[in-house]
Amino acid sequence: MLSRRTFLTTAAALPLAAPALAQDGPIKLRELYNRDQSFSDLAQTMEGQRVTVEGYMAPPLKAETNFFVLTKMPMAVCPFCETEAEWPDDILAIYAKRTIDVIPFNVNIETRGVLELGTFKDPETGFVSRVRLTDATYYET
């Protein structure tokens, strides 16, 4: 018979299991959406947490800013959107911790920040996003 003391001692020595949807590696932009453009279960589960997403830095809208757009494919121009309805599922707004250093549009990068879902209109640029990373850092891969 297993005593309570033996069970607790044994259980304390075991590693804790990771959540089923824990992030093992970078998230791909397509993993944030369902086919109907709604947010995926992964996106909803990870909302408010620090996540890593891979992609490419689109050319910034303006110089000396902390904002850029991450795209799944290299783009020579920024895919600026007018409304939430036009928001494509292959870009992600990135709000960096500090002024960004521009990385060439064809260099793969990883960004890490707090995942936020829901419509947000940037008061400075007018950029409308449905999903974004805030307090983000980024680096070449």
- Is 10's pLDDT higher than 80? no
- Is 56's pLDDT higher than 90? yes
pLDDT score of 116: 97
Query: Are the C-beta atoms of residues 83 and 137 closer than 8 Å to each other?
Result: no
> Would you kindly state where each structural domain of the chain is located, as residue ranges?
21-140
pTM: 0.75
Average pLDDT value for residue range 87-91:
68
Greater confidence (76 vs 50) lies with 50
pLDDT score of 64: 84
pLDDT score of 80: 54
- CATH code of the region 21-140: 2.40.50.870
Query: Are the C-beta atoms of residues 33 and 47 closer than 8 Å to each other?
Result: no
Provide the residue type at 52 as one letter. Answer: T
